[in-house]
Amino acid sequence: MLLKVNNLETIFRMARGEVRAVDRISFNIKSGKTLGLVGESGCGKSVTALSIMRLVPDPPGKIAGGSIELEGNDILKLPEKEMRKIRGNEISIVFQEPLSSLNPVFSCGEQVREAIVLHQHLGRKDSKTEAIEMLRRVRIPDPETRYKNYPHQMSGGMRQRVMIAMALSCQPKLLIADEPTTALDVSVQAQIIELLQDLREELGMSILLITHDLAVIAQMADTVVVMYAGKIVEKAPAGKLFSDPSHPYTQGLLASMPGYSIPGKSLPVIPGSVPDPVKLPPGCRFSDRCGKRIEKCFNEEPPLFNLGDSHFSRCWLHNKEEN
């Protein structure tokens, strides 16, 4: 097992009160596999990513509990100096918005080279050669020339390729891709996904793919984790999740995908909105919006029920003892 996240809890101390952005979540990622993390904005997906990198802005954020084991070592217990050797080297991240994520005053090649110098201790010339090679790997045409280009001189898709080159320059064991295609044109999205898939095969790395785009998940993920209001509501192998979604929230998400709905009819939507993170309901966090809720849903929070075949769901409907 490459990564084991166990009962991770990340809180934000806000003026209005404490927000539990990530509430005791657990999942594992196997070597060479892709885990898809799905959910709507504000459900805690990105905070999970930043927690794994230990880059949660503190204050106001703080990792309050749990463990994150990378090949058996709890990285939450590492001193900051050791953690820096992991960032960009063993775990890398690609962010959503490539333009704002690249430093505007340094050339793209220079930014890729910086990570190589930092972790591989190569000299000026070798690191440059290596950086150009990385740019070629992410299929940037004419990488020698592009090396000198600044972020503003590139298109969105090219910039995201630079971000990927930077993240993969030290051949990390785990790549966290936080909404890597959200800011891109649809035609470019497909290219980036294809690139990520190919690089995963080539480098044998694992990917934590964070997105709200279920089509991307369907294409890439081996396992899927669905988050809602800071909690995992469903966890299943990708095929299983799409063929047999068990949580009403997942069912709602899938039903609202254009490909899954009945042609000619308007797309179904999940009514209502995410609960206020400071004032969460005492029972199931989805109860207010759920079409299948029962009395119990309002009062008691459901545990994650094991449905067999690595399929888990946080819904009282799966409570075999009562049903």
Partner 1 sequence: MRRFIIKRLMQSGLLIFLVLTITFFLLHFAPGDPMAKYYNRTGISPETVEMMRVKFGLDKPVGEQYIKWVASFIRGDFGFSIHYNRPVRDIIFEAIPNTLRLTIAALLLYIVIGISLGIFSAVKKDTLFDKVNTVIALFLYSIPSFWLSLMLIFLFSLKLGILPSSHMQSIGMQGAGWFELLCDRARHLVMPAFVLGVASAAGMARYMRGSMLDVLREDYIRTARAKGLENKSVILKHAFRNAAIPVVTIIGLSIPFLLGGAVVVEKIFSWPGMGRLAVDAIYARDYPIVLAVNFVVGVMVILGNLMADIGYALLDPRITVTERSEG
Q: Which residues bind partner 1 (CB under 8 A)?
A: 53, 55, 84-89, 92-93, 95, 97, 100-107, 114-115, 118-119, 150, 152, 163, 166
Q: Return the number of the residue (103 or 299) whose C-beta is nearest partner 1.
A: 103
Q: Which is nearer to partner 1, 125 or 152 (CB)?
A: 152
Smallest distance from partner 1 to CB 283, Å? 36
User: In whole angstroms, how close is the CB of 203 to partner 1 at the nearest point?
Assistant: 18
Beta carbon nearer to partner 1, 99 or 257: 99
Our CB check for partner 1 shows the closer of 14 and 55 to be 55
Nearest approach, Cβ of residue 118 and partner 1 (Å)? 6
SS3 sequence, the chain? CCEEEEEEEEEEEECCEEEEEEEEEEEEECCCCEEEEECCCCCCHHHHHHHHHCCCCCCCEEEEEEEEEECCEEHHHCCHHHHHHHECCCEEEECCCHHHHCCCCCCHHHHHHHHHHHHHCCCHHHHHHHHHHHHHHCCCCCHHHHCCCCHHHCCHHHHHHHHHHHHHCCCCCEEEEECCCCCCCHHHHHHHHHHHHHHHHHHCCEEEEEECCHHHHHHHCCEEEEEECCEEEEEEEHHHHHHCCCCHHHHHHHHCCHHHCCCCCCCCCCCCCCCCCCCCCCCCCCHHHCCCCCHHHHHCCCCCEEEECCEEECCHHHCCCCC
Rounded to a whole number of angstroms, the minimum distance from the CB of residue 206 to partner 1 is 17
Q: How far is the CB of 61 from partner 1 (least distance, A)?
A: 12
- Least distance from C-beta 88 to partner 1, angstroms? 4
Of 106 and 298, nearer to partner 1 (C-beta) is 106
Of the pair 95, 242, the CB lying nearest partner 1 is at 95
